Every structure is written in C-alpha cells, then in structure tokens.
Amino acid sequence: MSNEDTPVNETQVENEDRRKFFGKTALLGAGAVAAPMTATMFASMAKAQASEVANSPVIHPGELDEYYGFWSGGHSGEVRILGIPSMRELMRIPVFNTDSATGWGLTDESKRIKGDSAHLHAGDSHHPHMSMQDGRYDGKYVFINDKANTRVARIRCDVMKTDKMLTVPNVQAIHGLRVQKVPYTKYVICNGEFEIPMNNDGKSSLEDVSSYRSLFNVIDAESMEVAFQVMVDGNLDNTDADYDGKYFASTCYNSEMGMNLGDMISSERDHVVVFNLPRCEAAVKAGKFKTYNGNSIPVLDGRKGSKLTRYIPVPKSPHGMNTSPNGKYFVANGKLSPTVSVIEIAKLDDLFNDKIKPRDAIVAEPELGLGPLHTAFDNKGYAYTTLFLDSQIAKWNVEDAIAAHNGKKVNYIRQKLDVHYQPGHNHTSAGETRDADGKWLISLCKFSKDRFLPVGPLRPENDQLIDISGDEMKLVHDGPTFAEPHDCMIVHRSKVKPKKLWPRTDPIFAETIAMAKRDGVDVYTDNKVIRDGKKVRVYMTSIAPTYGMNEFKVKLGDEVTVVVTNLDQVEDVTHGFCMTNHGVQMEIGPQATASITFTADKPGVQWYYCNWFCHALHMEMRGRMLVEA
C-alpha cells in the first residue's frame, strides 16, 4: 500500500507531533543543539510547553485534575463525579436510587433523608447545579431533580452525600432546574413539566384539559421546602436565572396544551416565560395566592396578563434555556427551529413596565443548524450550541449574531464540529458562572454507535471532551458512559473542599446518636444490646480489623437495628456492615455512625462481616448473629 493509500489517524498525527515537540525539548535540555538558546527562545518554548500541558486531557498517576465534573446519572437516579480533563469517574453519589455498596436507600439515615419517598427505589436524575455566591460557585451544595418521581434533592459537597430530599406537591415531573445566582442561592428554581388538573384528586373531569396547569416552583435552598409556586399557561421545560437576582426564564414547548404529539407541535411559535422575582415575593407577602390539594403552599397566578410574568413568543418547541456569563442574555434554543432566540435581559424592565412588546426583547435569532438544544458559553463572547439532528456543535459569536439581526452582513458562525452522535446537553468549564474560563467543553452525546467495542443491543452513550481554548474547537477525548447522563456541570477544584473524616456532630447521623443516648449508650465507647420487646437495638464500634462485638443473640422475627460507629481516624479507612442472607449492607466512613433495620427472619447462625476492604486482616473482620427459633 502506498503512503497515499494509508489512512491518516488525526490523533496519531497529534501524538507524533507531541512526541517530536517533547523530543526536541529533551534534546535542548541536554545541550544537544547546534546553536546556543537565548533567554527569549527558552521563555517562548517554556510557554508553549506549559500551554501544551495545560490543554492536555492526559493526567498522569499522582497528578490531580483541575476541575470537578458533576454528571447526572439519568435513569440510574444518581450523580457521578468525574475529573476533568482526565474524564476519569471518581465517585458515584446515590440520590434517587438504591445503592447496595453504600446502603443508600437501605440505611435508617438514608430513609429519613428520602422521607415520604423512601419506598421509591428508582429515579431519573437530570440537572445537577451547584449553589452560588455573587454568580460564582461556592462549593456548598449540588442540587438535582428527579423527573420520574417529581423530586428535588440536595448533595452536601463537603461529604458528597445527599442530605435533603423533597417531593414537590401540586406538580408532576420536575424537569428544568437551576439556582438563584445573585446575591446567593436563596432559591432553587425548577419546572413542573407535565400538565395536570390543579386539584388532581380524580373527582373532577380527568379529560377536561382546560383545567390542566403547569407550575414554576421556587424552593428554599436551606430548608428544602417550597417557598411558592407560579401557575402558567402552557407547560414548562428548561429554566435559568439572571445575574441580578431579579428574573428567571423558562421555555415552553407545549403552548398548545396538546395531549398528543401532533397537537404539541402544531404551532410555529411557543414561548419563553419570564418570572419577576421581586413581584412574586411581594404577591406572596400580600397574600395574593391560592392553595390546592390540602397543602399550604402559596400558588400565584402567572398566566398571561399577570403582572408577575411576561410571555415572549419564540420558535418552535424551544428546549434549553441558558444565561450568558456576562449577564446580558437569555438564550432559548429552538429544537424544532434551526434558530436560537437571544433575549436581552436589560430590556426586561421595559417589558414588565409595558414600554415594549414581548418580541422587542429579542435582539438576535441566528440560524445555526438542525435541532439546537442547549447553549454554553466561554469568556470571549462565543456561544456553543448542540445541534441534535446535525450531530454537531456550532461555535458562534453572540455580538456578531446581534449585528446580523440588525441588518449587517457578518458571519456569526465560527466553526461547526462533528460530535458522535446526537448531542443533548453541553457544558463549558464554569460556563454558567461569572468565572467562565473558556478552556473545556463537554458534549453529552445520546448515541455512541460505532465508537466503542460492541456490548450488545444496549450500547453506552458518549461523553466527549473538547478543547475550546484556541480559535478552533478540538475533540480530545471520547468516554463511554452508562445511560443516561442527561446533564453535567464543571467547577474548578479550588471551589470544593471535601472533608477527610466525618465530624462526630454531623447532622446526617445526629438522630441515630440521639436514639443511642435515649438508650443510655455512647456510640463511641459502648458495645451493647438493648432489648425492647420484639425490637432489638445492637450498638457496636468498629476499628480495623475488628467489630466491638463478635456476636449478639436475637429471636426469630425480631426487628433488629444495628448501629455501627467507625472509630478509625485514618482517612480512606471505610468499614462496612453486611448481614448475610438478609439484604443488609451499608458503608460507615471514618468517624461516622450508620444504622440499618431489618427483620431476623432466618433461624440459626447468621454471619455479618465488613464488606469494605479495610485491613490486611479484613477477611477476619466478622461476627455472628445467633437467631433463636
């Protein structure tokens, strides 16, 4: 085969270039040069090498990634943490799912956190977003929604555990979720996507679509309780917040209130609903609301004609809603239109004061390609929009698009990059904050097709890492992922300060420790069995490689609660507790207390053991539950 016939692998070429670059650098460092290197030449080469390393996805063993990536787990119901740019999966945080490794959904602590939804073992997690101070990530919480069961959960970033969960009343299918950015995350905002009767008790006509509504939900970020809801015309999809703490905006793809596909896509335009937060808060304070379904949550009327909202017509079945990091624009992505609609936030005051018409707030509507779903931003005035049907990312200049909208002949599209395949969400490094740095872009592709080793009819999806630091986007990494990572966010590692050990006063297990005190037990020193009729509480400590109790005795049918406190003070020494043949297992991190309740339904000797490898004598870390018939 001739050289002309040999297929060229672009990655191989890049690697060859890199090897040549570093080879030359090594020769220069060894002094094997024909001419002496000047200070200017050395500085230039050092700068080039630093740039090469900074924009490389290669993170060698022992080196740390620059960013945390928080991925939704989609149908798995979890949140995943990836390192960026390595794209290594570092941790999985169980949220709406049941997790046998950690015992999430099995332990008493996790059931208390899940509250009224503790009996649900599945979820569909979509939009992870971190709390903010002054438009910047603060490393405190990550919030995530469950579309399947209408829930919102909060993850504490100091321990990377879910600590609060709320089932949102009056609505069905929580979808788009964002946080208030300024002055701080007082509220989490999210949409009820599916339309239902306001009194959904089955007593009134179920077929009367005129009684159906969707609600915009405003949740107190600290108490994780609904502060108020806003009733709208049409349904709600995705949402975002401004950088002034005043306006929220949500897309609507079903302004028709259709109950089937044909009806839902019949109109050429749907709309964006803009919510005025100060007016909403004033209306709640003035008592201008109603309540439904027997709860006390204030529901405001934000339908067309309300002073609380404005409806901006946009084409067609819009999906993503994204705010530019400079705080100037909301961008609604057209989905069934090749366009995105750029809304100037500064014009919204005039819109709410009826000085301009709704469409006057739109300052650009660039045509980008087929199936625009989501837009991300860098710090140089560029936007990056996923084109689902084209399987591309379009890079375009926002100000040039505005100029073109005003009649100037300017090409606002800078580049289109093929991705593989059908991208949904995308995200730039810190791109939803004032700290957008223009280094990396993630494209979450819904299909992988031919990209990886075939594994059967259900194939992995494809997360792709793109270098956007230069003039052109460069695809640098493909990563298979289990279905379905719906969305992600990227935060610099300097913002996140995880603990190495659990504080003994942590609120997650405070109720368990309070129970022990009522039983007269100090969980850090005592190993005791408390019998209360058919209820037995077993308190034991653990320190590698032993439990504080090698055996305990119960009767067949007893309800047994096992409480384990890990006394190890060495980071990364996690213990587990697994009771064989009972579906019982849980994680106990260093200095943590955890508990699990089950029925002793098998007679005889039942062994328990540590199921998290902790010591050279880990296999010997076990004990017996003796169950008397």
Tokens, residue 255: 């302004």
Asked if pLDDT for residue 28 goes beyond 60, the answer is: no
In this predicted structure, the answer to whether residue 163 has a pLDDT above a threshold of 80 is yes
- Identify the residue whose tokens are 């239902």: 196
Confidence class of residue 629 from pLDDT cuts 50, 70 and 90? very high
Per-residue confidence at 32, pLDDT binned at 50, 70, 90?
Answer: very low
Question: CA-CA distance, 393 to 405, in Å (whole number)?
Answer: 21
Task: Render pLDDT for 538-580 as a digit per residue (tens, 0 to 9).
Answer: 999 999 999 999 999 999 999 999 999 999 999 999 999 999 9
The residues, ordered by sequence, that sit 6+ positions from 353 with a Cβ below 8 Å of its Cβ are none
**pLDDT of 389 over the 60 cut:** yes
- Residue 323 above 80 pLDDT? yes
- 417 has pLDDT over 70: yes
> What pLDDT is recorded for position 204?
81
**pLDDT of 50:** 54
- Amino acid identity of 348? L
pLDDT of the residue at 12: 42
Report pLDDT for 46.
Answer: 57
Q: Distance (Å, rounded) from C-alpha 190 to C-alpha 196? A: 16
Maximum distance among all alpha carbons in the chain? 91
What is the tens place of the pLDDT at every residue in 434-493? 999 999 999 999 999 999 999 999 999 999 999 999 999 999 999 999 988 899 999 999
**Average pLDDT of span 182-200:** 97
Mind spelling out the 3-state secondary structure of 184-212?
Answer: ECCEEEEEEEECEECCCCCCCCCCCHHHE
Distance of CA 488 to the CA centre of its chain: 5
User: What pLDDT, on the 0 to 100 scale, is given for residue 211?
Assistant: 92
Mean pLDDT of 411-428: 97
pLDDT for position 227: 98
**Cα 286–Cα 287–Cα 292 angle in degrees, nearest 5:** 155
pLDDT for position 57? 85
Return the beta strands (E) in 40-88 as ranges. Answer: 67-72, 78-84
Average pLDDT of the segment spanning 307-323: 98
pLDDT at 62 over 90: no
pLDDT at 205: 83
As a whole-number percent, the residues of the chain with pLDDT over 90 amount to 89
Q: Compute the distance between CA of residue 603 and CA of residue 628 in angstroms, rounded to an integer.
A: 6
Which helix (H) or strand (E) covers residue 528, if one does?
A: strand 528-532
Give the tens place of pLDDT for each residue, 363-378.
Answer: 999 999 999 999 999 9
Per-residue pLDDT of 202-254, as tens digits, reads 988 899 999 999 999 999 999 999 999 999 999 999 999 999 999 999 999 99
pLDDT at 38 over 50: yes
48 has pLDDT over 90: no
Tokens of 468: 């956007």
- Model pLDDT, residue 45: 60
Angle in degrees, CA 244, 129, 285, rounded to 5: 50
- Express each pLDDT in 334-353 by its tens digit: 999 999 999 999 999 999 99
